[in-house]
Amino acid sequence: MKFSSFTIRIFAILFCVKQINCAEKNTKARYRKSFINPYPRFKAHYDKGDPGEPLFLTPLIADPKWTKEMIRNISRVNHKDFEDIESYSGYLTVDPNYNSNMFFWYFPSEEDPAYSPVVLWLQGGPGASSLFGLFAENGPFEFNEDGELGKRNYTWSKTHNLIYIDNPVGTGFSFTDHEEGYARNEKTVGHNLHEAVQQLYEIFEWSGNSDFWIAGESYAGKYVPALAYHIHKVQNSIDTRTIIPLKGMAIGNGLSDPIHQLQYGDYLYQLGLIDEHGLIEFNEAEKKGKDCIATHKMDCAFEVFDNLLNGDMTNGSLFHNLTGFNYYYNYLRTKEDNRTHALGTFLQSSTVRKAIHVGNMTFHDIDTINKVEIHLKEDIMDTVAPWISELLNTYIVCIYNGQLDIIVAYPLTRNYLQHLKYKDANLYKIATREVWRMEDGEIAGYAKHAGNLIEIMVRNAGHMAPADQPKWMYFLIDHLTHYKKFN
């Protein structure tokens, strides 16, 4: 049988299309979500209106024709829903070689911006936008049950200069033009964040009296120490343009030291969510996971976590199969909470996009192919405990944990803290645990102090403590950054 040249070309095109589709399917088959993914899943495409143009501030910083006041004015957010709240946003280039840019949104302190502490909030994921923290946890805005935007009563911006950055590059509105621009490890994460923070200090000219604090939750248990450690190491180098007055950090329900946080079996057994047979299964899997980490087989360790809890690569995780739970961020709930889905609709608005200076840039949501996580897959089960140990010798480190979390449960956090090697490690092991009460006498949690380490358990809170207990968490961050006693 003979084919015409036209027919042959058609076969060739169809073959190529098939190969591309197969390759795409293989990529999706290899893709796995992180075992820490408490964030709302949404698609954020702008509507048919005019979203304006994205605002890149880095070239303006280097241009002598642009004063700092002019840069601040052009980055001011103007929108009818935000009229009463002063804020600024835009893009900061952190790696010009790959055109890697990070999106920020900054809210000056409502009380005394000239002298208030500067707090940077980082979300986890990896690959979760810090806009979740802004609208669902501690920013000046929140959505009610009807999806309407209103003001939050206990916003951290009341007494802090509060910054949100979509981190790492490729998260949320942050982006890069090259695969090489994605972070493969926490050293790159720390470097890129430091570049962004230095530029923010140049633009907003915070005084040396405004202490700098880094806060975050979940997988930011890696990001927060990464930035703090990078600042600690390079602060006095000749490449540092701006001195950052780092004072400390706060990590909530953070994955920081997986080898010492892989202890789910005993915890779930004590909660009554699994029986002795389930405990044996968990213990066997956890031993395998720890062996993988000890031999630096991080992909193997990730598979163990996937089989235990996430179930992305298996027909349901062991946790789901034994408990029936589809939710592991608060053991009082068995399924996902959809309260924050209004954020997706909000980000589709061209008027909002124009106001926050992102234009028609893609919003990378965590439910699509998460390139941030794919490039960090060898990092997920690695540790930053040595960095935290070194930082504890110089800076204040607050580790808080919601009582009701499963994925990064309080006993798991305490176990890794007990293994930290720093100058006051023995003090932590013998320190007295105190009841943390609010002024009205209500018990908010329990606190333990040892040198620069403050460990807090937040009562009646899950994985996202600021969302579950906003009043108590505002009290916590305000007392921490203003050096007030908790009791």
Q: One of 129, 405, 449, 468 is an active-site residue; which one?
A: 405
Asked if residues 127 and 33 have their Cβ atoms less than 8 Å apart, the reply is no
Q: One of 129, 210, 218, 256 is an active-site residue; which one?
A: 218
Burial class (CB in 10 A: 0-12, 13-18, 19+), 422: buried
Q: Among candidates 152, 208, 201, 250, which has minimal Cα distance to 458?
A: 250
Query: Is 257 part of the annotated catalytic residue set?
Result: no
Q: What distance in Å separates the CA atoms of residue 182 and residue 199, rounded to the nearest whole number?
A: 20
Query: Is 337 part of the annotated catalytic residue set?
Result: no
Q: What distance in Å separates the CA atoms of residue 45 and residue 60, rounded to the nearest whole number?
A: 28
If you write DSSP's letter for every residue of 138-183 in order, what string do you get?
ISSEEE-TTS-EEE-TT-GGGTSEEEEE--STTSBT-B-SSGGGS-
Tokens of 100: 């890697």
If you write DSSP's letter for every residue of 283-326 in order, what string do you get?
HHHHHHHHHHHHTT-HHHHHHHHIIIII-TTTTS-HHHHHH--S
Asked if residues 336 and 347 have their Cβ atoms less than 8 Å apart, the reply is no
The dihedral built from the CA positions of residue 415, 417, 421 and 426, taken in this order, carries a sign that is negative
Q: One of 116, 160, 463, 468 is an active-site residue; which one?
A: 463
Query: Cα–chain-centroid distance for residue 302?
Result: 19
* Biggest distance spanned by C-alpha atoms of the chain: 90
Asked if residues 312 and 306 have their Cβ atoms less than 8 Å apart, the reply is yes
Query: Is 211 part of the annotated catalytic residue set?
Result: no
Asked if residues 209 and 115 have their Cβ atoms less than 8 Å apart, the reply is yes
Q: What distance in Å separates the CA atoms of residue 182 and residue 177, rounded to the nearest whole number?
A: 9
Burial class (CB in 10 A: 0-12, 13-18, 19+), 184: middle
Taking residue 286's Cβ as centre, other Cβ atoms within 10 Å add up to: 18
For the annotated catalytic residues, the residue numbers are 218, 405, 463
